[in-house]
Chains A and B, each alone.
Chain A
Amino acid sequence: MLTGAYVARPSPLHHLPAGGKLAALAVACTGLLMVRTPAGVGVATAAVAGLYVVGRIRPAEAWAQVRPLRWFVAAILTVQLLITDVPAAISLTARIVLAVALAGLVTLTTRTTDLMAAMERALRPLRRLGVDPARVALLMSLAIRSVPVVAGIARRVRDAQRARGQERSIRAFAVPLVVGVLRHADTLGEALQARGMDD
């Protein structure tokens, strides 16, 4: 989901200002909360799909945005089916998927830099409370960048455990993973310092 998956493409959505898109996303997600009927969910789904078309996003790219949700969706659907009826379960799950799809659409059509700049502006009023908007924005960028790196570390650790026949030991996985992530964080901090983050 969050891998800085911007795709450069000439579409009206790409040209919209990042701040506008973030605000629209917030409004749309609030709106989704109020959609209750199956017909409403149908309309919302069509609208989100339509936006993906306007943004000239290919089906595979769209799928990549919601695919990480598939187990979550299965779990929540099961729980919902146990406690409510079928239409309610489906509409709740669909609304979650739609919200993620919309957020994904924003990241697909907006450069992370622009998103961060918009977020920085939005956070400016919080300065009085001691929040440094530029730092928060940098932190978000770093978090996005770190997702694939940490995934890579996890993959290497798992491969190493497999090679040594330790497939099922949680500790044999967790300890080197944590060590690897800490080491990465250490070098990342040094790299930031070397690249002039301290002035």
Chain B
Amino acid sequence: MDKVNHAYDERRVLRDVQVTLTERRVAVIGANGSGKSTFARLLNGLVVPDDGEVRVNGLSTRTDGAAVRRQVGFVFTDPDAQIVMPTVAEDVAFSLRRRKLSRDDTARLVAEHLDTFGLGGHADHPAHLLSGGQKQLLALCSILVTQPQVLVCDEPTTLLDLANSRRITELLAGLSQQIVLVTHDLDAVLSYERVLVFADGTIVYDGPPADAVKQYRMMITGT
């Protein structure tokens, strides 16, 4: 297990956020517009803070963005936006371009990973013919093929039906990587070690899932 240290200090959207995430399973919940996605994007340097520093394994996202992104995989809500190649196998292979592997090695790695994700039979199919659930599986596969140490997921199941949503949630649970999951699925966070509750750009609760969910429900109904 790896240790990841993040410290934030961003104005406006995120106000004086300061956390160190060392747990293997961290979930982020909160209302729409509370800053969850911005927080997630800070973790791999897609967003660089106005003030303060975000560090992953000692690397600053400001100065070593590309190196950070090599360690931190990012899963978006809409799989259509993150599948960049026309066919299934090509999209997974795209992730491996940087590694400069031989054609055969690339093909073998791609085939292995597609099989693990149950997409082996679709290798040469156009990506747009996959179902929503299969697209999200492909997106996940394309990211995990590079073996990132950390996986940040911004509402990976929001567009999926119940069965596919479960499937992705279970798949994430089985991964060895450190995971930071942004979600509105309060059931999914119960198995997480640590849950951050966001409101108006700050962390209003940080602790075990049962209490976090209770706090969040109270915030919505109470005030």
Chain A residues at the B interface, C-beta cutoff of 8 Å: 3-8, 111-113, 141-142, 144-145, 148-149, 152, 184, 187-188, 190-196, 198-199
A112–B142 CB distance below 8 A? no
> Can you list, as one digit per residue, whether each of B87-109 has a CB less than 8 Å from chain A (1) or not (0)?
10010011100100000000000
B74–A3 CB distance below 8 A? no
Decide if the interface of chain A is mainly helix, strand, loop or mixed: helix
Judged by a CB distance under 8 angstroms, whether B83 is at the interface is yes
B76–A187 CB distance below 8 A? yes
**In the bound complex, CA of A152 to CA of B132 (Å):** 13
Which of A3, A8, A199 meets B128, CB within 8 Å? A3
Give the chain A neighbours of B81 by CB distance below 8 A.
149, 184, 187-188, 190-191
Chain B residues at the A interface, C-beta cutoff of 8 Å: 41, 44, 46, 65-66, 69-70, 73-74, 76, 78, 80-87, 90, 93-95, 98, 123-124, 126-128, 142-143, 146
Q: A3-B126, A148-B128 are in contact. Are A193 and B87 (CB under 8 A)?
A: no
Give the chain A neighbours of B46 by CB distance below 8 A.
190, 193-194
A198–B86 CB distance below 8 A? no
A4–B80 CB distance below 8 A? no
Give the chain A neighbours of B82 by CB distance below 8 A.
187-188, 191, 194-195
A190–B76 CB distance below 8 A? yes
**In the bound complex, CA of A149 to CA of B44 (Å):** 26
A108 CB, nearest partner CB in chain B, Å: 11
A195–B94 CB distance below 8 A? yes
Which of A5, A6, A152, A195 meets B84, CB within 8 Å? A195
Give the chain A neighbours of B83 by CB distance below 8 A.
145
Between A and B, 25 residue pairs with Cβ closer than 8 Å are A4-B85, A4-B126, A4-B127, A6-B124, A112-B87, A113-B85, A141-B84, A141-B85, A141-B86, A141-B90, A149-B80, A149-B128, A184-B80, A187-B81, A188-B81, A190-B76, A191-B76, A191-B84, A192-B84, A194-B44, A194-B69, A194-B74, A195-B95, A195-B143, A196-B146
